[in-house]
Amino acid sequence: MEKPVFLINGFLDSGKTTFINETLNDPQFRAGSGKILLILCEEGEEEYDEVAFAKQGVSIITVEEESQLTDEFLAGLEMFYNPQMILVEMNGMWKLTGFLELNMPDDWAIAQIITIVDATTFDMYMKNMRSLMLEEMKYSDIAIVNRCDDDTDKTAIRRFVKPVNRRIQIVFEREDGTDAGDAEEELPYDMTQSHLDISDEDYGIWYMDAMDHPDNYVGKTVSFLAMSYVSPKLPKGYFVPGRMAMTCCADDVAFIGLLSKPPVMMDVKKMKSRQWYQVTAVIRKEFQKEYQGEGPVLYCTSLAPAEEPAEKLVYFN
């Protein structure tokens, strides 16, 4: 039987300890969990009540140095504590990939990676530790943005996070832990129109919104400038028109685009990658394994050869 491992990530004083305390004191979370091991890689101002936790079957081990996290160290914890569940409070200054690359005990399995973010310090960390912060987001299942107030720019936070990790769920909470609502995306084009002309500047925002809310685009016609990507790895008869996008920094650029069917008179087998087109297509929603579910698929009505733009990169804000 697999033993679930929960990684709780985030910078110092982001609220990781508060989150873990609340989680471990939740009877529903603890139900049937048996012995729990909490591995602390960082100690903040708030502390754990080790005596009270010990009575509940929670053992706490502190890791002082990143170099302590080795395959042998985890194997020793498994042998000594024999936990049924493991929680790891990560140090925000240590690379998450370092832990993910460890060979954990055979029956340990990553169940969920959660990143805790303090909304009041988000801008500061994005300016000074952008790549480290977005690396945390890259592997997370959930980002909990706490300490939000009426001035929190939730849309800006979403635009920073989503390009790095399409599947991440972002939750916004107020200081008291109540729901602060979702980010309200202000789209730079008119969704009341049946035909959307997407400019280079708006491509990244359109891509994110179409992926997040494909139902809103079903039946609409869209036009944009894109570069072709053709590969035998794609579903038969499909290609991807897209753009190179800067996801977090100059060293982190990715090709983003939607699965597409060319016009009926064009054969994908005769198409080449890195060709520029002015694309006009109708959007449908279909199940595709590349999307791991349903997502937007473009049915092109026109692919007009176009010149390469002076600025090939697109952005998300």
Backbone angles phi and psi of 310, in degrees to 5: -65, -40
What gap in Å lies between CA 290 and CA 296, rounded to an integer?
A: 11
| Same domain flag for 153 and 56 | yes
Check residue 202 and give its pLDDT: 92
Question: Tens digits of per-residue pLDDT, 62-73?
Answer: 999 999 999 999
Judge if 36 and 149 occupy the same domain: yes
- 93, 114, 142, 208, 216 from 172: Cα distances, Å: 23, 13, 11, 19, 23
- The pLDDT score that the predictor gives to residue 247 is 67
Q: What pLDDT does residue 250 have?
A: 53
Is 186 domain-assigned? no
- pTM of the complete model beyond 0.85: no
Name, in order, each residue with C-beta under 8 angstroms of 295's C-beta and a sequence gap of 6 or more.
211, 214, 258, 259, 285, 286, 288
DSSP class of 215: G
CA dist 169 and 141 (Å) reads: 6
- Amino acid 292 reads Q
Residue 81 buriedness (CB in 10 A; 0-12 / 13-18 / 19+): middle
Looking at residue 292, what is its pLDDT?
84
46 shares a domain with 158: yes
For the chain, what is the domain count?
2
Whether 34 is in a domain gets the answer yes
* pLDDT value, residue 248: 59
- Asked if residue 55 belongs to a domain, the reply is yes
**Are both 164 and 217 inside the same structural domain?**
no
> Residue 2 carries which DSSP code?
P
127 and 14 in a single domain? The answer is yes
CATH code at 218?
A: 2.40.50
The reply to whether 188 falls in a domain is no
List average pLDDT for each run of 10 residues in the chain, which is 317 residues long.
Answer: 92 91 86 87 82 90 94 96 95 91 95 95 87 85 94 87 84 92 84 96 92 94 97 94 78 86 92 96 94 94 95 83
Which residues fall within 8 angstroms of residue 277, CB to CB, at 6 or more apart?
225, 226, 227, 228, 241, 303, 304, 305, 306
* Token pair of 39 as six digits: 């591995």
The per-residue pLDDT for 249 is 55
DSSP character string of 39-95: EES---SS---HHHHHHTTEEEEE--SGGG--HHHHHHHHHHH--SEEEEE--TTS-
Each residue's pLDDT tens digit, 221-264: 999 999 999 999 999 999 999 999 876 555 568 899 999 999 98
Structure token digits, residue 22:
């609340």
Domain interval for residue 25: 3-174
The identity of residue 200, as a single letter, is: D
Q: Cα 90 vs. chain centroid, distance in angstroms?
A: 18
> Which pLDDT score is estimated for 71?
96
Q: Domain ends where: 121, 141, 174?
A: 174
Q: Does one domain contain both 75 and 162?
A: yes
